[in-house]
Amino acid sequence: MDSLRAKPIELIFSVLGLIIIFSACNSTAELPRLVQPSKPDGTLSFLVVGDWGRRGSYNQSHVALQMGKIGKDLNIDFLISTGDNFYDDGIISPYDSQFQDSFTNIYTASSLQKPWYSVLGNHDYRGNVYAQLSPILRDLDCRWICLRSYVVNAELVDIFFVDTTPFVDKYFDEPKDHVYDWRGVLPRNKYLTNLLTDVDVALQESMAKWKIVVGHHTIKSAGHHGVTIELEKQLLPILEANEVDLYINGHDHCLEHISSINSGIQFMTSGGGSKAWKGDVNHDWDSQEMRFYYDGQGFMSVYISEAKLRVVFYDGFGRVLHRWSTYKKGVYSDI
């Protein structure tokens, strides 16, 4: 299988070991950066899936099959995971069979043997966080790239991955029966202050044509979890001030597109990698904001050129559910 994997992975991994060390620290002067080459024609395409790791159950395997087909058709360069990578409680060690059973043995299509840039979700924080950040996982499957927060520089686009779980108050105040692995996060206020500063600085310094931010938790959503107030108050103003194009998340087990009425940000939810929540939707949204909602399994693709960014949502059968495109001058919908 290793022979199928894209050459950019080898370039990335030469520096990733050092990056992992820095990512474990409570404070960093700068977000770790990885480089993702574009195609020879300057374009990029990738898939986004979230909330998937269930050893193939809840249609995870079916979604993976369709991802392989679409990935081949689009000649994707990489994939993004929006978190909750392993249910229900993350992994307990780098040698946990969950990693093989939910990742390596599920996403087997040749088109998916590309870098997987991942963030941690709240379910991942219920396990051993350092296990998911461990370089041992890359020895087991060289596609796996997971840090707390980092930047992928992909020429036309900079993609900023943000560790959103520590922002959510209820995980600290009302954990119920769950035990979260807060190593590297405490003291929490210092961690969040540093992270917000680092994200703001990185966004300000970005010279890319497009800016995309990825986190596990929703900022705006009509799904089960709805709006994440902490992110709306703390992270959203930074995204707006820096003219971010997309905020992509998981957490709600659905596919969703919400347009901001206060800025140019588009909020895209791709959390349908396995278990979905049928019928669990809040319909009380302005039609100018709520562009698309699907309460089933699926994933999304993103295509980027110098002038155009296109998003397509697919269901678990690979059928196109929603298309949306934007240009740097003006926005249109091609649904």
Q: Which one from 225, 253, 257, 322 is the annotated catalytic residue?
A: 225
Q: Which residues contact residue 256 at a Cβ distance below 8 angstroms, ignoring those fewer than 6 apart?
A: 221, 222, 223, 267, 268, 269, 292, 293, 294
Element (H, E) at 205: helix 188-205
270 class by beta-carbon count within 10 Å (0-12 exposed, 13-18 middle, 19+ buried): buried
Query: To which residue do tokens 């949204």 refer?
Result: 285
Phi-psi map region of 155: left, alpha, beta (phi>0 left; psi -120 to 50 alpha): left
DSSP states of 261-312 as a string?
Answer: SSSS-EEEEE--SS---TT-----S-TTTEEEEE-SSEEEEEEE-SSEEEEE
Q: d(Cα 236, Cα 257) in Å, to the nearest integer?
A: 16
Which two three-digit tokens encode residue 57?
């159950």
Report yes or no: 110 and 75 within 8 Å, Cβ to Cβ: no
How would DSSP label each residue in 36-51? ----TTS-EEEEEE-S
Non-local CB neighbours of 118 within 8 Å, separated by 6+ positions = 80, 81, 83, 85, 132, 144, 145, 146
Token pair listed for 87: 């249910």
Cα distances (Å, whole numbers) of residue 182 to 187, 188, 229, 238: 9, 9, 21, 25
225 classed as catalytic? yes
Strands across the sheet containing 116-118: 144-146, 116-118, 78-81, 44-49, 298-304, 308-315, 320-327, 331-332
Q: Catalytic residues, which ones?
A: 225
